[in-house]
């Protein structure tokens, strides 16, 4: 309820809502984002709808990073077309969807300790006036679907955690 208005003339807004590199906004990506968001005007709730769409419709899969870019295929387009991607690709797709409806978003990364060993990992962040950058990790949330040892209530809670929060397993 306390989300303010974006300063659409600010450098931050212009930079993080543009189509660029692997966070490319095709007409199809924009159309999908508009369908997912619907009439929602609150950017927090719109980003949540996008997050839920990515969790529901995009499957985790390693992707051929080193072959996509040289062929001219951007990661956001690849994920949109193939409906799958790894942590970086899912994050770039989430960011492209957000950017296409005017929500500043970016992909960031570092190290994670999910398995007890350091491993590279990417996640996304979206920007809200009066709040700043909020993390979103669809790949970490996906892990809830990789087991049958939890209840549906636990699965839902686990997935909800990664919208606006991160676990302490990041460096």
Predicted TM-score (pTM) above 0.85: yes
The predicted-structure confidence for 60-99, as pLDDT tens digits, reads as follows 988 777 667 677 789 999 999 999 999 999 999 999 999 9
Query: And the tokens for 36?
Result: 């997912």
Looking at the chain, the whole-number percentage of residues with pLDDT higher than 70 is 96
- The DSSP-derived string for 108-142 is EEEEE-TTSS-EEEEEEEEEETTTEEEEE-HHHHH
**Mean pLDDT, rounded, for 38-45:** 97
- Read off the tokens for 74: 């951007």
Q: Is the pLDDT of residue 13 over 90?
A: yes
More confident residue, 111 or 25: 25
Q: Whole-angstrom Cα distance, residue 171 to residue 102? A: 29
Q: Which helix (H) or strand (E) holds 88?
A: helix 87-100
Buried b (16+ CB within 10 A) or exposed e, 37-52: beeeeebbebbbbbbb
């Amino acid at each position: 309820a306390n989300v303010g208005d974006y300063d659409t003339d600010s450098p931050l807004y212009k930079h993080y809502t543009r189509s660029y590199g692997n966070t490319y906004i095709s007409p199809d990506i924009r159309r999908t984002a508009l369908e997912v968001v619907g009439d929602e005007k609150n950017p927090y709730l719109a980003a949540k709808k996008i997050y839920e769409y990515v969790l529901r419709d995009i499957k985790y899969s390693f992707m051929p990073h080193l072959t996509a870019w040289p062929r001219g295929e951007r990661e956001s387009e690849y994920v949109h077309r193939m409906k799958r991607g790894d942590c970086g690709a899912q994050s770039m797709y989430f960011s492209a969807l957000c950017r296409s409806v005017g929500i500043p978003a970016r992909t960031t990364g570092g190290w994670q300790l999910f398995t007890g060993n350091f491993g590279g990992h990417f996640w996304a962040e979206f920007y809200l006036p009066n709040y700043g950058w909020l993390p979103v990790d669809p790949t970490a949330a996906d892990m809830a679907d990789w087991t049958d040892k939890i209840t549906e209530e636990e699965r839902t809670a686990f997935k909800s955690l990664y919208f606006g929060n991160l676990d302490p397993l990041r460096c």
